[in-house]
Chains A and B, each alone.
Chain A
Amino acid sequence: MVTSNSVSQTGRWVGRIEVFSGRRNPEWLLPAGQGEALRAAWHALHPAAGPAPAPPLLGFRGLALECDEESWLVFRGLVVHHCLGATEVKADTDGDFENLLLDSAPPGLLSPPILALMHRS
């Protein structure tokens, strides 16, 4: 998994909005316990009915979560989980996983224009 920033560290949970091209994507370290809460939220989701849609090349490409070899990408109500070559797609119908991930961002990091871009997609 390619990351666009540099805060990723072993054992740390990193959240990121994949949206920009010229500037760095907004990225943050999750507070203690939030990563495991998100993992639990992931386990509570049901498998998706179909494959995940391909995000666009430019613009909002999803909300990413990473921890060591694992990564999740939330895009258009689906969560794609990658771990050691295996991929699983689940439906985040009520947005629980997405909202939990957004709530883990430090206040002010996700400015209204960024959130608007997310919701417009």
Chain B
Amino acid sequence: MIVLEGLEEKEALERLQESPNPKAKEELPLPPTNRLGYRGLLVEHLGKAKNRLPSKLRVIGGNGVDANRTIRLSDPGFEHFICGASGPIRRLHLSAKVVEGIHVELENLHVQPMPRKSKLGKPSKACQCAPLYEPAWWNDGGQRQANNNCYNYAANYRTDTFAQPGLAAGTMYGAFTGADVSAAALADDLESTSLDNVCPEQGHLVALVIAPGVDFHWYRKGSDGLWTHKPGGMATTNLDNSNQIITDPRTADRGMYTDFRQFMVVKHGHIKLR
């Protein structure tokens, strides 16, 4: 059970309101409750019911269900608000497998994530420019996922070419060393920074790590202040090699990427990747 309080409760209640869209008045079928697997989120008021919402509501597939009817919610992505990487579900400390299973079910139910509202979101003011963690967009299981690597993801720049630092500028790295890959990224117009795991005023923070002599890897800091990454053609993730949320890539379990090189800044619209 997760208890929502304060701003989080306020935002949840706003998202649970019936949609003002005229289509909301159209009758929706009651979803089945006797299925295996994910059967929705049960939302219950612990005190007096507020905002004319039913005291108990099951949210599934972007709709709310009370005893008698199905309601279109003003936020059809409510389940992502709760179950997303930065959502309150984190407080349950579920295994990554369970959370991933829920995300798969939400995808099957066509629940689309919606951004947190900036006035209520956790990120500090300086992180407002950072990209959201939206794994569903990158993890399409097809060409987008397979042909965009850690560098694409960290820069939030899709090329479908498995982008290589420096290639667009004609000065690709020559060796898998911090110095070489870093110089190549600077040629792509990423910027050096002295920021220490702090979001910049403009753009967003990325981090370069090296598996000496064999490969490089990048992370990016999201609007929630946490770090995410995309291991090659695999799915994006907010976990490290020990299945822990990443608060600082310097201390994360990075497997063979043992050398932390540096933080850099990606200014949106300034960089060129290929």
Contacts and interface: CB of A to CB of B under 8 A. Distances in A.
B151 interface: yes
Interface of A is mostly: loop
A59 B256 CA distance: 6
B231 interface: yes
Contacts of B162: 4, 23-24
Most B CB within 10 A of own CB, among A4, A6, A19, A21? A21
Contacts of A33: none
27 contacts: A2-B141, A3-B146, A4-B162, A4-B234, A18-B232, A20-B232, A21-B149, A21-B150, A21-B215, A21-B229, A21-B231, A22-B149, A23-B149, A23-B164, A23-B215, A23-B216, A57-B231, A57-B237, A57-B240, A57-B241, A58-B241, A58-B255, A58-B256, A59-B211, A113-B213, A113-B214, A117-B256
B231 A58 contact: yes
Nearest to B212: A113
A5 B149 CA distance: 11
Contacts of B231: 21, 57-58
B218 interface: yes
A28 B262 CA distance: 34
Given A24-B162, A57-B255, A59-B211, 6 more contacts: A2-B145, A3-B233, A23-B149, A23-B164, A24-B232, A58-B255
A22 B255 contact: no
Interface in B73-110: none
A68 to B, nearest CB: 16
Interface in B230-259: 230-234, 237, 239-241, 254-257
B218 A57 contact: no
A41 to B, nearest CB: 26
Interface residues of A, number: 22
Interface in B144-166: 145-147, 149-151, 162, 164-165
Interface size class of B (residues with CB under 8 A): 20 to 34
A58 B254 CA distance: 7
Contacts of B239: 57
Nearest to B252: A58
Interface in A1-17: 2-6
A56 interface: yes
B233 to A, nearest CB: 3
A63 B107 CA distance: 29
Most A CB within 10 A of own CB, among B146, B211, B232, B237? B232
B174 interface: no
Given A21-B217, A23-B164, A58 B233 contact: no
A48 interface: no
